[in-house]
């Protein structure tokens, strides 16, 4: 039911306009991440981020699906369906980064393998 409601909401506006709005909201979320989450993120900021990023990921999936179904040409606004799919993957990566952090030991092993020295 939620999926149908989301799809109906996205269908209210042309896919092109929704995609432009979605990219702008994704940019706004990146600004929020940079200002509020990179250093000393509060529990409230993390909760808000989880809700917004989950919504953007879902909308990105629906937008790319709708665009492929309708063969939407995004060239007039300067991006493509592949750009929507790439941004959706970046949003997923950021969701994992902020909400599923690596255990310290694993992070140290990765840094040591990549740079040849322990961070401590």
Mean pLDDT, residues 7-35? 87
Mean pLDDT, residues 28-47? 94
Eight-class DSSP state of 37: I
Q: Which two tokens stand for residue 3?
A: 């999926």
pLDDT value for 107: 77
Mean pLDDT, residues 88-101? 94
- Distance CA(28)–CA(26), nearest Å, equals 5
Task: Decide: residue 46, CB within 10 A, 0-12 exposed, 13-18 middle, 19+ buried.
Answer: middle
Q: In whole angstroms, how far apart are CA 62 and each of 15, 58, 119?
A: 10, 6, 41
pLDDT at 92 over 80: yes
More confident residue, 100 or 88: 88
pLDDT at 42 over 60: yes
Dihedral class, residue 78 (left if φ above 0, else alpha if ψ from -120 to 50, else beta): left
């Amino acid at each position: 039911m939620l999926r149908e409601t989301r799809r109906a909401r996205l269908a209210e506006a042309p896919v092109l306009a929704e995609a432009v709005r979605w990219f702008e909201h994704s940019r706004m979320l990146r600004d929020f991440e940079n200002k509020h989450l990179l250093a000393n993120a509060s529990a409230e900021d993390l909760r808000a981020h989880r809700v917004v990023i989950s919504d953007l990921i879902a909308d990105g999936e629906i937008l790319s699906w709708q665009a492929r179904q309708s063969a939407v040409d995004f060239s007039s606004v300067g991006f493509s369906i592949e750009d929507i799919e790439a941004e959706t993957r970046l949003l997923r990566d950021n969701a994992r980064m902020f909400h599923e952090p690596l255990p310290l030991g694993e992070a140290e092993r990765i840094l040591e393998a990549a740079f040849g020295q322990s961070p401590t």
